[in-house]
Structure 1
Amino acid sequence: MSRRRGKVEPRLMEGDPKFNDKIVAKFINCLMVDGKKSTAQKVFYDALELIQQKTGLDPFVVFNEALENAKPQVEVKSRRVGGVTYQVPIEVRPERRMALGIRWLIRYSRSRNEKSMKSKLAFELMEAQKGTGSSIKKKEDIRKMADANKAFSHYRW
């Protein structure tokens, strides 16, 4: 994007039909494949019902805790200085934190070995809520990489 243009206004989203929550609506939109929103909603709500059956906890609270646990605090960006590329640790903006957390939860849910997508998503959310799972491992790996490259933080731009 050119620097001469004005700032882009974020689009206003409506909440999802069941909880009227914008974060859930965003999650469902990211879960959606080929424009099949009703299928994505069914998968998400069925996963929440499965969480309710397995844990006995409020599934909306489990979802929010899982998303909070999956959000990264820092990440590394490549910065080229004098012919050498450094991995520079930077703090993640709140909008990007949310997007990365959602993306990782969905990506690692899809790569699980359970039978259906609703069970894959449910078990990934339950593991993320406990602080385990592939999405949490990804967050920890990036944090460790940022800690290892803390010496290059003065190259931040």
Structure 2
Amino acid sequence: MSVYPQHFVDPIINKSLQKEKAHELSHIPIKPALNVSTDSIFYGELKQKFTNYILKEGNSALARELLTKTFEIIKRTQIERLHLAKGDKGSIITDAETLLINAIENTRPLLHLSAIKRGGVKYQVPIPLTEKKSYFLAMKWILEAAREKERKVSLPEKLAWEILDAACGQGRVVKRKDDLHRLCESNRAYAHYRWS
């Protein structure tokens, strides 16, 4: 449900697209942009969502600071690996945002199990996830894995190591995704209960 009628168009935040579509949108009512919307080159939708998942008790400045520190630790670690590497230095990615995106893509589950009751028995039925839900689960799992580690280490450091592990296709989160897919594979005989 929206405050604005359906004929209102979503705002275009990217300035280059604004110039292209200015003539088309000159007579169409446009919704106002969100407070978090920006045309900065540092803005990323996934990064913004990840910041929102880090957020606790409405302290968005702290959440942004924690993510910035995490990116700083990732960058330092990757540059250190780059200098220590003897062979192929082109394979080491130093961009923290790219590593975050790779980590999320590597940990995104495609299926999940849902309990469906048929004839007095509950079956674990594999059901495909929507894209939005799979991104949510990937980011949630990465944060949970970082928060579960020992409390003596700061969150940005733990989160940086989880992201680096997940970007390489290793670590607890990737194992969790693989375990879920293995369970879905073992329960595929009950997949037909989805439609009955």
TM category (shorter chain) comes to 0.7 to 0.9
Specify every segment of 5 or more residues in structure 1 that has no aligned partner in the other structure, as ranges. 1-10
Aligned to 1:120: 158
Q: Note closer, same or farther for the CA distance 1:122–1:16 as it changes in structure 2 (3 Å cut).
A: farther
Instruction: Give, as a single letter, the amino acid of the residue that structure 1 aligns with 2:193.
Output: Y
Aligned to 2:55: 32
CA-CA distance at 1:12 after TM superposition = 9.8
Q: Alpha-carbon deviations, 1:82-133, whole Å to 9, x = none? A: 1000000111100101111111111111112261011011000000001111
Instruction: Give, as a single letter, the amino acid of the residue that structure 1 aligns with 2:185.
Output: D
* Structure number with higher relative contact order (C-alpha < 8 Å, ≥ 6 residues apart): 1
**Cα RMSD, aligned residues only:** 1.9
More helix by share: 1
TM-score by length of structure 2 reads 0.71
Highest CA radius of gyration, 1 or 2? Answer: 2
Alignment check: 8 A CA contact 1:76 1:90 kept: yes
Aligned to 2:66: 43
Instruction: Give, as a single letter, the amino acid of the residue that structure 2 aligns with 1:146.
Output: C
Aligned residues: 147
CA-CA distance at 1:152 after TM superposition = 0.4
Aligned to 1:63: 100
CA-CA distance at 1:19 after TM superposition = 1.9
Alignment check: 8 A CA contact 1:15 1:25 kept: no
The aligned runs of 1:92-111 (5 Å cut-off) are: 92-111=129-148
CA-CA distance at 1:24 after TM superposition = 0.7
Specify every segment of 5 or more residues in structure 2 that has no aligned partner in the other structure, as ranges. 1-33, 80-93
Distance 2:97 2:68 in 1: 10
Q: Note closer, same or farther for the CA distance 1:153–1:129 as it changes in structure 2 (3 Å cut).
A: same
Matched, 1:145 2:183: yes
